[in-house]
Structure 1
Amino acid sequence: MLTLEQIQMRDPFVLKREDEDCYYLYGSTDPDIWKSKGIGFDVYRSRDLLAWEGPFPAFRPEPDFWSDKNYWAPEVHAYLGKFYMFATFKADGVCRGTQILVADQPLGPFRPHSDGPVTPKDWECLDGTLWVDAEGEPWIVFCHEWVQIKNGTVCASRLSPELDRAIGEPILLFSAQDAPWVDPVKGGAGYVTDGPYAYVCENGDLLMLWSSFREGRYAQGIARSESGNILGPWVQESMPIFENDGGHGMIFRTFEGKILLALHSPNNTPDERPLFIELEEKEGRISAIES
């Protein structure tokens, strides 16, 4: 068994399984996701969020898989009886994008489901997440990366009912510079958007977690949909919920009813670790509970 402090991971994502009374923890688990050849994604399992079994190999590429690097940010969602992984991949001469994989169980093995990325082929994209709207229609929410457009954006595209392709053109939700707290990176080279994740509050308010940089450190921000649906308009919170060099978060509820924010901190490799922060929610607002 391992503790979170023993697990090197970026972009943590927790899948809670009521039928198994346990949690699955996914993330970017290659030792160096920036420079090394892609190995795959590992998954860990726990009943109490403290002691973790694993790692188990959730995804390993076949020899003819198109991507060989930047295996980033896997999310796993239960949908229509199967488990779908949304993950970022890259290859030389091919734009980074989110591909969808599928498995029959949370441990995998996950296999390619979509024909390559479902994000636009000529866009540098990352960090796709699944959103199912009030009508039951699936969407992918993702980032159009700052390295291509300087002011990174968060966009949404409809998905086919089978989750194997995008339908229609992507729709702009907001940009990094819409948030007053965001600072540029690399001496003004651009403004980062990372890790969007939609969360519905108990009162029905729709929030979007996403990450960028503030004063040189990775930070976790929040936007709010004024309409209550994924197309917004989105209004940015004036300050991040976490700015101590951590981010790419998601929110889940424990079996005991606690609300936890999962993110990684610090942001430098190889020191990044999954971190769970307890939240309180009041009238559509979330804040960290002081420990």
Structure 2
Amino acid sequence: MKSELKSDSKSVWKTKDIQIRDPFVLPLEEEGKYCLFGSTDKNIWGPGTGFDAYVSKDLENWEGPHPVFRPPADFFADANFWAPEVYAYEGRYYMFATFRRNDNGRLGTAALAAERPLGPFAPLSAGPVTPEAWSSLDGSLFVDEAGDPWMVFCHEWQQIGDGEVCAVRLAADLSQAAGDPVTLFRASEAPWTTPFVSPRYPDAVNYVTDGPFLFRGDDGSLYMLWASFIDNTYALGVARSESGGILGPWTHQPDALYRDDGGHGMVFRLFDGRRALAIHAPNRTPEERPLFLALAEKEGAISVGKPLTGSGE
């Protein structure tokens, strides 16, 4: 697999100076470098221009930005380019990212592919992998014990009120769904969430699901990070699969993992073997920054520690 990082960019940024939402870190061990992806448009709520990435040896000093995706002229979306996640899989690099469709105005997660971690990425799926009639976002790749790929994603609260986290099996080449979605849980089922009060829906009781990410614990347990709100403040929670498989059932830790206006988390390994959590905080534009926190696992529960070097605070 080609992992070499090539760029003419000479700019260096401190973590605290990078405006980014939905941070996703891809460690490249042979290179001794971390690639940071995320929602990088200055106004992510408007027209989409693409995705940029940054590269670092220490999570503190970042070289970039690298333009890793720019939409082709016939692309199916031109607004709301969100939450790119990049994975090494079967000899190539794959990006799962959310876009707002031009044809029906709904959000959906599509798959893109590239030969190198910094792209350029090109569309792989024919539009979103998520159902056409659904407003869906934040797709995340998970490969199960049998080696079969799945995508975990959110069925959006703005369409159904009580947001859901769902899973769909993917084709071997990741280009399309290979079955119907399965609902894993609803946001209101977690003991730590509270209804989200939206000025757009003042009389509705809404619960938000956002940014699911699955990872294995050191003891083999399967955990899921996902974000929601507590008293209209962005927060991150964690659930554990009782079966050890993607279909659960899922049991939620009673308290939020992080509740200080930060979330959309993912977990990665530092080069010294420690596990780290990446989130963005605060959850308001244009102040959002990447934040890296130590992560601990004990007796089937996950907890966060102090910010690591290079955190956004």
Q: TM-score, normalised by structure 2?
A: 0.91
Q: Is the 8 A contact 2:149 2:174 kept in 1?
A: yes
Q: Structure 1 vs Structure 2: percent identity of aligned residues?
A: 55
Is 1:75 equivalent to 2:85 in the alignment? yes
Q: Is the 8 A contact 1:71 1:89 kept in 2?
A: yes
CA-CA distance at 1:189 after TM superposition: 4.2
Q: Is the 8 A contact 2:225 2:236 kept in 1?
A: yes
Q: Is the 8 A contact 1:145 1:192 kept in 2?
A: yes
Which one-letter code corresponds to 2:301 in the other structure? R
Which one-letter code corresponds to 2:51 in the other structure? F
Which one of 37, 44, 49 corresponds to residue 26 of structure 1? Answer: 37
C-alpha distance in structure 1 between counterparts of 2:13 and 2:274, whole Å: 22
Q: Is the 8 A contact 1:75 1:87 kept in 2?
A: yes
Which residue pairs with 1:10 in the alignment?
21
C-alpha distance in structure 1 between counterparts of 2:94 and 2:82, whole Å: 15
C-alpha distance in structure 1 between counterparts of 2:14 and 2:245, whole Å: 37
1:183-230 superposed Cα distances (whole Å, 9 cap, x missing partner)? 111254411000000010010111000000001100000011000000
Which residue pairs with 2:262 in the alignment?
246
Which one-letter code corresponds to 2:79 in the other structure? K
C-alpha distance in structure 1 between counterparts of 2:60 and 2:273, whole Å: 16
Which one-letter code corresponds to 1:281 in the other structure? E
CA-CA distance at 1:290 after TM superposition: 4.2
Secondary structure at the aligned position of 2:178 is classed as strand
Which one-letter code corresponds to 1:180 in the other structure? P
C-alpha distance in structure 2 between counterparts of 1:2 and 1:108, whole Å: 21
Q: Is the 8 A contact 1:265 1:274 kept in 2?
A: yes
Give the gaps of 5 or more residues in structure 1. none
Is 1:120 equivalent to 2:136 in the alignment? no
CA-CA distance at 1:127 after TM superposition: 0.1
Matches within 5 A, 1:1-291: 1-34=12-45, 36-92=46-102, 93-185=104-196, 186=198, 187=202, 188-290=204-306
Which one-letter code corresponds to 2:81 in the other structure? Y
C-alpha distance in structure 2 between counterparts of 1:281 and 1:208, whole Å: 13
Q: Is the 8 A contact 2:238 2:302 kept in 1?
A: no
Secondary structure at the aligned position of 1:177 is classed as helix
C-alpha distance in structure 1 between counterparts of 2:306 and 2:53, whole Å: 29
Q: Is the 8 A contact 1:202 1:284 kept in 2?
A: no
C-alpha distance in structure 2 between counterparts of 1:117 and 1:9, whole Å: 23
CA-CA distance at 1:77 after TM superposition: 0.4
C-alpha distance in structure 2 between counterparts of 1:213 and 1:147, whole Å: 14
CA-CA distance at 1:284 after TM superposition: 3.0
State the superposition RMSD in angstroms: 1.0
C-alpha distance in structure 2 between counterparts of 1:177 and 1:280, whole Å: 26
C-alpha distance in structure 2 between counterparts of 1:288 and 1:157, whole Å: 29
C-alpha distance in structure 2 between counterparts of 1:289 and 1:149, whole Å: 35
1:118-142 superposed Cα distances (whole Å, 9 cap, x missing partner)? 0001000000000000000000000
Secondary structure at the aligned position of 2:16 is classed as helix
CA-CA distance at 1:58 after TM superposition: 0.6
Secondary structure at the aligned position of 1:276 is classed as strand
